[in-house]
A and B are shown apart, each in its own frame.
Chain A
Amino acid sequence: MNKTLNQKAWFFVIPVFVLVAFNAVVPLMTVVNYSFQETFGSNVFAWEGTRWFKEILHSERFHASLGRQFIFTFIILLIQLPLGIAIALTMPKKGWGVPVCLILMSMPLLIPWNVVGAMWNIFALPEIGFLGNSLNSLGFDYNFTQQSGDAWFTTILMDVWHWTSLVVLLSYAGLNSIQPAYYQAAEIDGASRWDVFRYIELPKMKKVLTLAILLRFMDSFMIYTEPFVLTGGGPGNATNFLSLDLVKMALGQFDLGPAAAMSLIYFLIVLLICWVFYTLMMKDEGRT
């Protein structure tokens, strides 16, 4: 669309600008402020320069939680994207099945995050939970509160349960926008099912899939509440992801300086990766 140049359009943006700036700029400046100082309680601060940043960047604790975070996000994307696309492809296209599928599949998305954690906690408890009990009676030695492998398995399964539907709904919307003429043409050309997927469906879904990757990356990279309730970061530090570690440091130990420095580094990593995705996406829409 051709946009008209109109500087007065800024007036339309002012309410949004004020509300978001009020929420983002002031707290962010507080974080920046802390990240350069040492606090001794009762509002006594001392300038520390870049000490906290150096400490965080060299701290093994940060490397460990950052590593865990990347592995977690990578596994999540690797499972949820193909699974979501597969489900969207097999979903009914018309009839009573459509609203039923859509409503039931959206359910996990609207449950408060700590309820998701609590629900999976009682679902996976080894003695009294359905998942834990079933796995144990099948002969697996499963206990997510004691064994780190099981804790990872449960956390990932929980996230797959919680968020795959988002990928499904996005892919489904992308598939629905394909005109029947494309399929007819493919049939005339004698294209195989794979060819149809590879050359018609996948390119048409590119836009929504970029969006799905962007959203899933952002949200899984800042995951906090669900693992906090499910495992509390344990056993030991096995599922101690970045946000969990950060909150432990900031509110638990009250190490404001290092926590602030870690916040900024954390935010910059997310920002950088999202910027790459965003640029790719906007280029695709022909808006840059």
Chain B
Amino acid sequence: MKKIKWLVPTIYIIFLMLPIYWLLNMSFKTTTEIINVYSLWPQDFTLDNYKTIFTDSTWYMGYVNSITYTVFNTIISVSAALPAAYAFSRYKFLGDKHLFFWLLTNRMAPPAVFALPFFQFYSSVNLFDTHIAIALSHCLFNIPLAVWILEGFMSAVPKELDETAYVDGYSFGRFFFKIFIPTIAAGIGITMFFCFMFSWVELLLAKTLTATIAKPIAAIMTRTSSTSGYELGLLAAAGSLTIIPGAVVIYFVRNYIAKGFAMGRV
């Protein structure tokens, strides 16, 4: 029993890595090789696919766009959610429970429901095809999530911390920024990770709200595969590159990841 225990996670990880390996494998092949030869590793190793992406601005600007709106969204979501989560974790006020559930309903709303009205709404306020439009639209599901996670972490901090600080003569602002925020720093890190993650992986809204200027990399991939034939090698290289930002972010939060996924609710 003890000896075969490690087998389960190992097999699972191999299963997880196989499609990723296949994507990497294809990204180093030429499109002709992909279509004509079936091989477990590239026979005719090439970096041309990556070269195309890094020299063609319509390609690499896609990455810049995606990262730009993701960062915007993370900053907006977390800074708006911090005071709100504090209010939910510390105070009772009129309609607090209803408000909390109403926020969560927006995380539950299928983005497909909002695609068309978002398109019309952001066009009518002249924000169509801007980074800020995508960043704001992603607030729809990221703010509720951020409030939810932060509230979990803040509720775990005993209220005596606040009270002691006030007794010591701290003003609210000084207490909040000097004591409270450092105390829940791990929780804030995890929240930023989640906002980044969900904004980075979302495509439907990002694609609906952009035409050319702010187009995310993921949307550029779908377009290119349909117009210029089926450039599988290029598609695979572009896909492989989208894995990198996620991997970097995971590395930074690796020690908190398990608790973070439970949203402070363990």
Contacts and interface: CB of A to CB of B under 8 A. Distances in A.
B83 A24 contact: no
A266 B266 contact: no
Nearest to B136: A23
A170 B236 contact: no
A3 B80 CA distance: 21
A91 B197 contact: no
B8 A87 contact: yes
A19 B135 CA distance: 11
B257 interface: yes
B151 to A, nearest CB: 11
Contact of A267 (B26, B113, B242): B113
B34 interface: yes
A44 interface: no
B266 A174 contact: yes
Interface string A133-173: 10000000000000000000000000001001110111011
Nearest to A4: B91
Interface in A1-24: 1-10, 12-13, 15-17, 19-20, 22-24
A30 B159 contact: no
B258 A173 contact: yes
Interface stretch (B47-55, B104-112, B180-188): B104-112
A162 to B, nearest CB: 9
A127 interface: yes
Nearest to B258: A173
A211 B265 contact: yes
A101 B225 CA distance: 34
B258 A218 contact: no
Greatest chain B CB density within 10 A among A31, A99, A122, A177 is at A122
A90 interface: yes
B258 A176 contact: yes
A26 B105 CA distance: 15
A173 B236 contact: no
Contact of B116 (A16, A24, A256): A256
A114 interface: yes
**Which residue among B84, B110, B144, B225 has the maximum number of chain A CB atoms within 10 Å of its CB?**
B110
Given A113-B202, A161-B19, A172 B258 contact: yes
B94 interface: yes
A7 B94 contact: yes
B112 A222 contact: yes
Given A15-B84, A30-B121, A161 B38 contact: no
Interface string B1-13: 0000111110011
Contacts of A7: 93-94
Contacts of A285: 265
A92 interface: yes
A86 interface: yes
B240 to A, nearest CB: 9
Contact of A211 (B96, B254, B255, B262): B262
Contact of A270 (B84, B97, B110): B110
B101 interface: yes
B20 interface: yes
A113 B92 contact: no
Contacts of B140: 20, 23-24
A207 interface: yes
A218 B107 contact: yes
Interface stretch (A54-62, A71-79, A195-203, A244-252): A244-252
B11 to A, nearest CB: 9
Contacts of A70: none
A16 B80 contact: yes
B195 to A, nearest CB: 12
Interface string A74-107: 0000000000001100111000010101111111
B250 interface: yes
A224 B261 contact: no
A17 B99 contact: yes
B188 to A, nearest CB: 16
B32 to A, nearest CB: 12
B200 A250 contact: no
Interface in A246-288: 246-247, 250-251, 256, 259, 263-264, 266-267, 270-271, 274-275, 278, 285, 288
A115 B203 CA distance: 10
| Nearest 4 A/B pairs, CB to CB | A110-B246, A27-B117, A222-B110, A12-B87
8 contacts: A8-B93, A9-B91, A90-B5, A129-B22, A161-B15, A165-B16, A222-B112, A250-B116
